[in-house]
């Protein structure tokens, strides 16, 4: 009997759910069974604020150590939690098709964030979301929270909080049941989200068996990879950590790559934004078949390279406009 492939994943309900989705797809592509290997990350046991933990890969390091030690064959990450610096010996084999990249504000009665009254208690642990919420409604009282999706929703349902801000993709992957609560969807133009939000990353060793790599690469969605490359390049070029108050979103529209990037002051009082539109090479259709380009894609002069340059140019313009004064710098993104 063929030995199962081992998929390393965090232990949370959301991580296990989205890893199982990938496991099923890899099993279909490879013809081999795939088993989940739950792994504890620093971010799962360290209850410090995300603003204190910074961009040190606290949700990825433990998984990557297990992968390097051959305790698993590949990993599934939420891409927004993944540092932009790729470790030696590891490669992103696939970025599956992206889910909804938006944030949502969840309340008991559907009151929009901008209409919440003075002192309304809004829960989020993300410095970006804190800055955006305060800019959107400076009257609210931000509560720095951690925890899984269910526990955060429970704090609204029980009246401890008036609202929480969550990723739409996570709610959707868990079935979309808010237990009677109501969600306000936040538009990406006014409220750009974390680089790579809504996307997953399938990571493996660069010396993995070629047949396994080929099966993983079948999950790659080129449109997603192009968009998240632009977004994450902005973060990298700004030298900002994963939890920095930076919102980016890129989309492909009729052959154009459209990139929006905004840097916020931590208290929401200032922001600096940039919009870039880049025409992709003629003939690029952005089809959704697996490209199998892997880590070498940025060298081919195609849409990945164009996305990289677009992200670098956006970051350069943000820095020229004073973004360095707003963003906490991180040398370990």
**Catalytic positions, written as ranges:** 80-81, 128-129, 146, 152, 242
89: left (phi over 0), alpha (psi -120 to 50) or beta: left
Dihedral pair phi/psi, residue 7, rounded to 5°: -105, 115
Q: Tokens standing for 302?
A: 């195609």
Burial of 44 (0-12, 13-18, 19+ CB in 10 A): middle
Q: What is the DSSP string of 151-188?
A: HHHHHHHTTS-SEEEEEHHHHHHTTS--TT-EEEEPPT
The one-character DSSP state at 97 is P
Measured in whole angstroms, how far is the alpha carbon of residue 278 from the centre of its chain? Answer: 22
CA dist 285 and 255 (Å) reads 7
In three-state form (DSSP H/G/I as H, E/B as E, the rest C), the secondary structure along 213-232 is: HHHHHCCCCHHHHHHHHHHH
Give me Rg for the CA atoms of the chain: 19
Q: How many CB atoms lie within 10 A of CB 193?
A: 25
CA contacts within 13 A on the Cβ side of 205: 15
Beta strands at 141-143 and 90-94: parallel, antiparallel or unpaired: unpaired
Produce one character per residue of 2-34: b if its CB has 16 or more CB atoms within 10 Å, e if not: eeebbbbbbebebbbebbbebbebbbebbebeb
């Amino acid at each position: 009997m063929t030995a199962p492939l081992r998929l390393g994943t965090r232990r949370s309900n959301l991580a296990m759910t989205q890893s199982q989705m990938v496991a099923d797809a890899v099993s279909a592509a490879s013809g081999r069974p795939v088993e989940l290997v739950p792994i504890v990350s620093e971010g799962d046991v360290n209850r410090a604020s995300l603003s204190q933990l910074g961009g040190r890969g606290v949700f990825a390091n433990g998984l990557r150590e297990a992968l390097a030690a051959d305790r698993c064959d590949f990993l599934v990450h939420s891409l927004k939690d993944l540092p932009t610096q790729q470790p030696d010996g590891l490669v992103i084999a696939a970025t599956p098709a992206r889910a909804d990249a938006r944030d949502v504000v969840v309340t008991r009665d559907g009151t929009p964030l901008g209409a919440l009254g003075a002192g309304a208690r809004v829960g989020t642990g993300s410095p970006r979301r804190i800055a955006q919420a305060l800019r959107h409604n400076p009257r609210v009282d931000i509560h720095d929270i951690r925890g899984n999706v269910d526990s955060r929703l429970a704090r609204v349902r029980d009246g401890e909080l008036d609202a929480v801000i969550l990723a739409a993709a996570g709610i959707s992957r868990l079935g979309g049941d808010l237990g009677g609560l109501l969600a306000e969807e936040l538009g990406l133009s006014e409220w750009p989200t974390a680089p790579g939000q809504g996307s997953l990353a399938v990571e493996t060793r660069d010396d993995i068996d070629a047949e396994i790599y080929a099966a993983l690469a079948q999950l790659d969605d080129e449109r997603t990879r192009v968009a998240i490359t632009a977004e994450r390049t902005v973060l990298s070029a700004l030298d900002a950590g994963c939890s920095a108050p930076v919102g980016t979103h890129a989309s492909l529209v009729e052959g154009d790559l459209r990139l929006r990037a905004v840097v916020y002051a931590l208290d929401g009082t200032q922001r600096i934004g940039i919009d870039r539109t880049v025409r992709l090479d003629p003939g690029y259709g952005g089809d959704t078949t697996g490209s199998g380009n892997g880590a070498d894609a940025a060298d081919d002069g195609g849409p990945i390279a164009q996305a990289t340059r677009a992200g670098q140019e956006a970051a350069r313009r943000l820095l020229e406009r004073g973004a360095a004064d707003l963003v906490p710098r991180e040398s370990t993104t």
